[in-house]
Chains A and B, each alone.
Chain A
Amino acid sequence: MQMRMRMMHRSKWLVPSFAVALGLVYLAVQWAGGDPRGGLVSLAIMVAFAAALVAFSGRSSAIEVMRNPRADERSAMLDLRATAFAGLVVITAVIAAVFYELARGGDPSPYAQLGALGGVAYLVALFVLQRRS
């Protein structure tokens, strides 16, 4: 008896397309800010990233996950854990920056606001998720 798992994956082109779209947004906002050259550099970086995802996804399992994080349940799990780890690193850096600014008598508000946003987002997600599962 066969029971085929439901394929989770969205398009393999979604993440590369999003990277290019983000590059175009960089170009637009940097152009609007009077730095079109910087915008073109940002666009080039994002296009190169998208091209690398497409070119090397067949050669590296990690890049394949980056290109298509919902390919299957293991990819989704790896993506979730990597995202959680990255979030932990960012929130740790934000908290360290708040302490650093306080210690030097500076204004920690920008970092404190980012930290508060992260904390609120975590709490909201936790309350919503615990109701669903």
Chain B
Amino acid sequence: MQNLIRELRAAAGLSQGKLATEMGVSRQTINAIETGRYTPSLPLAIALARFFSRPVEEVFDADADANDA
């Protein structure tokens, strides 16, 4: 599943570690989400979308495979 987490995080000037701390997950989990290796649970996806003040469907594209990028 493609997502905009990397772009939104970079725009906010946050490191993966800082975002991970804010979300209560590990830095590896943020990295895995950004690279499309891990699809987050619905609560985590909503938390990420809310953190960046975006609709969840704008942050995560359920119709696109991360490998298509």
Contact = CB atoms under 8 A, between A and B. Distances in A.
B8 interface: no
A2 B22 contact: yes
B28 interface: yes
Interface residues of B, number: 18
B28 A3 contact: no
Interface string B25-40: 1101100100000101
Contacts, number: 45
Please classify the interface of chain A as helix (H, G, I), strand (E, B), loop, or mixed, using the class held by over half of its residues: loop
B15 to A, nearest CB: 16
Interface string A60-82: 01001000000111110100000
Contact of A7 (B24, B32, B53): B24
A74 B24 contact: no
B26 A75 contact: yes
A59 to B, nearest CB: 12
Contact of B50 (A1, A61, A75, A77): A1
9 contacts: A1-B51, A4-B23, A5-B23, A5-B24, A6-B24, A73-B44, A74-B28, A74-B32, A74-B40
Interface of B: 22-26, 28-29, 32, 38, 40-41, 43-44, 46-47, 50-51, 53
